C-alpha cells in the first residue's frame, strides 16, 4: 500500500487537534465548588475528601449573587457543585434553572425526605435550629414560637433583623402553620415586645441577655457551641454562659417539632465534572464527614446516628425537627419578607 504523504499526515493531525480543542478540557481528578459559605468553615471537610479520593476541590467563594453569576456564565460555567448556607438561596438556584437532578442511593438513605428535593435537585448537608436563648434564671422549660408575641414579654425580646434569611425562614414557617393573617398579628406582637431594635447578629442576643437588656431571644444553635467553646473569660464565653437554650415548637399540635434551616448543595446544571460532584455530595453525608460537621461547626448532622459535639449535646441535645417539608416553608418566603416590611419590624 502506498504510504500517506506528509501533507496528508499533517492534515489528519491538524483535524484531530482542532477536534480536541473544541471539546471541554477538564482534569479527571478535580471539581469546582461555588459556595456562599465561608471556605474556612468547610475546608477541613474538603481536605478530607481530597485525601480520600485524590480529587482536588477548587473553591470559589461567592458572597452575593451566586444565581446571577452562574446564569451569566451559562454552559461555560466551571461550577460543578453549588453550596449555600440556607435553604432559601438553595431553592432559588433550583427555581433559577441552574441545577440538575441527581439519583443517588447514598444521598437518599442518609438525608431524610423532608430535607432534600423530591426530584434530587438539592440536598441538605447540615442543620441548625432556630431556638430560644433565655436568661439562665428564668423558670422556662418549654416554649412555642407563638409565645414570643405574648404581652408578658413586653420589652424583654431581642432578635436580629426580620429581613435576615434566618428570620424570614422562621416567619415563612409560621405562615405555613398558622396562616398569613395570624402570622401578621404575631409579628406585630413580637415587635411590641422588642427590648431594642431588631438588629445585630445572633450572638448579640446572648450578649444583650447578659447585659440585662432582654430576657429572651431567637437565634441559631451553632452559635451556642461557638460561644461556650470560646476562651475562658472572653466576652463570647461570658455570653454563652449567661444563657440556656430551649427548643421551641409550633402551637399547631400536628407539628411537635423545632424549626430548622440547613446548609445544602446541588450539582450545577452544566457541571463539567458531574461524577466528581456527586462523589463530593455523597462524601459530605457520609458518617466521617457528618462527624466533622458536628465537631468543627457545632451543627446538627442530617445523618442519623452521628454523635453531636459534647457542648451541643449538653446545651441543646438532639433535635426533633418540624416535619413540614422545607419546600413547603420556602413557598412563603416572599410573603414573610412582605410582612416584615408591612409591620415595620426592622424600623
Mean pLDDT by 10 residues, the chain (347 residues): 38 33 55 92 94 97 96 98 93 97 97 94 97 96 96 98 95 96 98 98 98 98 96 97 97 82 96 98 97 91 95 95 90 96 98
Around Cβ 272, how many Cβ atoms within 10 Å? Answer: 20
Q: From the annotation, which residues make up the binding site for Fe cation? A: 222-223
Nearest to 280 by CA among 115, 113, 58, 87: 58
Residue 2 lies in a domain: no
Residue 7 pLDDT: 38
332 & 185 share domain: yes
Residue 211 lies in a domain: yes
Contact 81, 31 (CB under 8 A): yes
Q: What is the dihedral of CA 73, 77, 82, 85, to 10 degrees?
A: -40
278 & 335 share domain: no
Residue 187's contacts (CB-CB under 8 Å, 6 or more residues apart) are 149, 162, 171, 339, 340, 343, 345
222 & 328 share domain: yes
Residue 255 pLDDT: 64
Contact 326, 262 (CB under 8 A): yes
Residue 9 lies in a domain: no
Residue 96 lies in a domain: yes
Cell representation of residue 116: 432534600
Residue 174 lies in a domain: yes
When divided into structural domains, the chain yields a total of 2
β-strands 56-61, 260-268 pairing: unpaired
161 & 229 share domain: yes
Residue 325 burial (CB < 10 Å; 0-12/13-18/19+)?
Answer: middle
Question: Where residue 157 sits, what CATH number does that domain have?
Answer: 3.40.190.10
Residue 8 lies in a domain: no
Q: From the annotation, which residues make up the binding site? A: 222-223
192 & 337 share domain: yes
pTM: 0.85
Residue 198 lies in a domain: yes
Contact 163, 339 (CB under 8 A): no
**Integer Cα distance of 99 and 91 in angstroms:** 10
192 & 330 share domain: yes
The angle formed by the CA atoms of residues 237, 243 and 247, to the nearest 5 degrees, is 125
Residue 27 pLDDT: 57
* Structural domain range at position 330: 128-258+321-342
Residue 202 pLDDT: 97
**Integer Cα distance of 326 and 128 in angstroms:** 13
95 & 194 share domain: no
Residue 40 pLDDT: 82
Residue 74's contacts (CB-CB under 8 Å, 6 or more residues apart) are 270
335 & 198 share domain: yes
212 & 325 share domain: yes
242 & 210 share domain: yes
147 & 63 share domain: no
Contact 332, 176 (CB under 8 A): yes
Residue 21 lies in a domain: no
219 & 332 share domain: yes
Residue 9 pLDDT: 31
Amino acid at each position: 500500500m502506498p504510504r500517506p504523504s506528509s501533507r496528508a499526515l499533517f492534515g489528519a493531525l491538524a483535524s484531530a487537534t482542532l477536534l480536541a480543542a473544541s471539546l471541554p478540557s477538564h482534569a479527571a481528578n478535580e471539581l469546582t465548588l461555588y459556595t456562599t459559605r465561608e471556605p474556612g468553615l468547610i475546608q477541613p471537610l474538603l481536605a478530607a475528601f481530597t485525601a480520600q479520593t485524590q480529587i482536588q476541590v477548587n473553591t470559589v467563594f461567592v458572597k452575593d449573587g451566586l444565581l446571577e453569576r452562574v446564569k451569566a456564565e451559562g454552559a461555560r460555567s466551571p461550577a460543578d457543585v453549588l453550596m449555600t448556607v440556607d435553604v432559601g438561596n438553595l431553592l432559588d438556584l433550583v427555581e433559577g434553572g441552574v441545577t440538575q437532578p441527581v439519583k443517588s442511593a447514598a444521598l437518599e438513605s442518609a438525608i431524610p425526605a423532608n430535607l432534600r428535593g423530591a426530584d434530587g435537585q438539592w440536598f441538605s448537608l447540615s442543620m441548625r435550629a432556630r431556638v430560644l436563648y433565655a436568661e439562665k434564671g428564668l423558670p422556662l422549660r418549654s416554649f412555642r414560637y407563638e409565645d414570643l408575641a405574648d404581652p408578658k414579654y413586653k420589652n424583654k425580646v431581642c432578635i436580629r433583623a426580620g429581613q435576615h434569611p434566618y428570620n424570614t425562614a422562621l416567619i415563612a414557617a409560621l405562615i405555613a402553620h398558622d396562616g398569613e393573617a395570624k402570622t401578621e398579628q404575631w409579628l406585630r406582637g413580637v415587635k411590641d415586645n422588642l427590648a431594642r431594635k431588631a438588629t445585630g447578629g445572633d450572638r448579640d442576643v446572648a450578649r444583650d441577655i447578659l447585659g440585662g437588656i432582654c430576657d429572651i431571644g431567637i437565634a441559631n444553635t451553632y452559635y451556642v457551641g461557638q460561644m461556650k467553646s470560646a476562651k475562658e473569660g472572653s466576652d463570647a464565653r461570658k455570653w454563652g454562659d449567661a444563657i440556656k437554650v430551649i427548643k421551641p415548637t409550633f402551637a399547631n399540635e400536628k407539628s411537635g417539632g423545632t424549626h430548622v434551616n440547613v446548609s445544602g448543595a446541588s450539582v450545577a446544571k452544566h457541571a463539567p465534572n458531574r461524577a466528581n460532584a456527586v462523589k463530593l455530595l455523597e462524601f459530605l453525608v457520609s458518617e466521617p464527614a457528618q462527624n466533622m460537621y458536628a465537631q468543627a461547626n457545632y451543627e446538627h448532622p442530617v445523618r442519623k446516628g452521628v454523635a453531636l459535639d459534647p457542648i451541643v449535646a449538653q446545651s441543646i441535645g438532639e433535635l426533633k425537627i418540624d416535619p413540614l417539608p422545607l419546600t413547603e416553608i420556602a413557598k412563603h418566603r416572599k410573603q414573610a419578607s412582605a410582612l416584615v416590611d408591612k409591620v415595620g419590624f426592622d424600623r
